[in-house]
Structure formats: structure tokens, C-alpha cells
Structure 1
Amino acid sequence: MRYPASEKLEIIRIVEQSHLPAKRTLDKLGIARRTFYRWYDRYLEGGPEALEDRPSAPSRVWNRIGDDIQDQIVELALEETDLSPRELAVRFTDEKRYFVSESTVYRLLKGVFC
């Protein structure tokens, strides 16, 4: 279950002010100790603002083909109109020494020409 930052801060305050040990307090609240201490470390380092949810998706896709390579593939497809996506992928890989799959070429050309 995801907790908003305000609830995380409230849980931190409850644990700090409790007369019980942190483990027992967290057990009563139903919060895993690992989760609590991850929140607590973020809170100590960055204050209440650090408790806000962070995006889970990476900001950059590791296997995305750059725009310059995409442009080169499209140029090759315009020059060699009689080649299939498979043949274009093989030719591009052989000539440019940069591997692209048939499906990548197909998706790229479909997005550009359809």
C-alpha cells in the first residue's frame, strides 16, 4: 500500500514519540521496519519533502535508438525502396556496423510512413 507523504510523516512522528520500542510500534501500525527506516532516512536527509513519492519509471530508456540512427535508417529506406525491413536491417548493420533488428526497422518505418 502506498502512503502519501503526510501519512509517512505522521507515522514517523508516532514512532518517535512512542514510549514503546520502534519494532513494537511498527508492528502495531502494520508497517515493515525496512520500509519505515527507508522513509526515516529520507526524512532525515531531506526533510518532509523527501517523503513524496518518486516516479518509478526510469527517465531514460537504455535501449532506445538515437534520432541520428533513426534518420540514417529512414534515409537508407528512401534510397533502397525495394528492400524489405529485414533486408534494410541487414544492410544497415553491415554498412554502419550498428545492429538494428528487423522489427525495429519495421516499427520505425511504420511510424514514419503510415
Structure 2
Amino acid sequence: DDYSRFILAWKLQKDMSANSLIEVIQEAVDATGMTEVPVENRTKLLSDNGAGYVSRAFRDYLHLVGIGHILTAPFHPQTNGKVERYQQSLKREVNQIPYEAPSQLDKAIADFVDYYNYRRYHKALGDVTPADVLYERREQILQRRKEVRIQTINRRRNYNRSLRELVNAA
């Protein structure tokens, strides 16, 4: 999800064929209940120009489920910068150890996605998690942090004031 940066669906695949991509997109569609949203309000998919993304089968599938498709400019990965940055973070974490079986790699990716979605604070999101944004908790969290900060500042002022009074009285 571009707005929240929440990873809605993923799957370790052997290739980037249209069928492999369709499997993952269908998981995201099922997870979000997007088919209940009027077609004109449905999300759009931003992708690069990989063979699977520009194939007729993939285009037909997106049309069938009512998802618009925006292709990035060729040789311009910055257009898809958030995804590129996520991939970089994923690779940095997952490539630290060798895996003996695909199931081990699958587990490592699942753990990273869980961490990324639910525990990793994002500066660009206001230091909240993608889940906080997706589930509309960001404003509540930021308000609570502000209240705690004000309480902490007031406690510190009161402590410093009482300390000064003790020093001056002595």
C-alpha cells in the first residue's frame, strides 16, 4: 500500500511471470476486500515494465478485478522509489545468512515483513508503523506522544524548580 507502506501480500516465487504476479495480487485483493469498493474508487497498481507486468494475461486479470495499472518510466526506478527502498531493506536483512532450503528463506522473509509492517517505525510516516497508518491509529498515537512529552517537560521543570529551591535554602 503506497500510502501506509503496509505490505499487503507477498510470496516467494521462482519467476516474475504473469501467473506468479497474479497470485500475489489476488492475495492482496482478498486481504483488502477491494472488490467491495466501487471500481472508480479502487486502487491502482504502480509497477515497472517487467515482462510479467506488461503481459496480456496480467493486463486482462487487472481489468477483470478492476485495478488500474500505471507503468513506471523505463530505466527510471526512482518512480517506484518506495518499493525499491523496501526491496533494498529486505535484501540487506535477509541476505545476511545462507539458507539451506527455500522454506528457511520463506520464513526469514515472513519475519521481516511482520517486523516491517508492525514494529518498524518509519520516519516518513511520522515515526509510526505501516500498520498504525493502515488501521488509522497514527493520529491517536501522535496525540498521545505529544501529551506524554508535555507531561515529561512539566515533571522535569517541577523537579528542577524544587532542586533549585533546595539548593537556595541550604
TM range (shorter): 0.3 to 0.5
* Relative contact order, higher structure (CA 8 A, sep 6+): 2
Structure-2-length-normalised TM-score: 0.27
Higher strand share: 2
Structure-1-length-normalised TM-score: 0.35
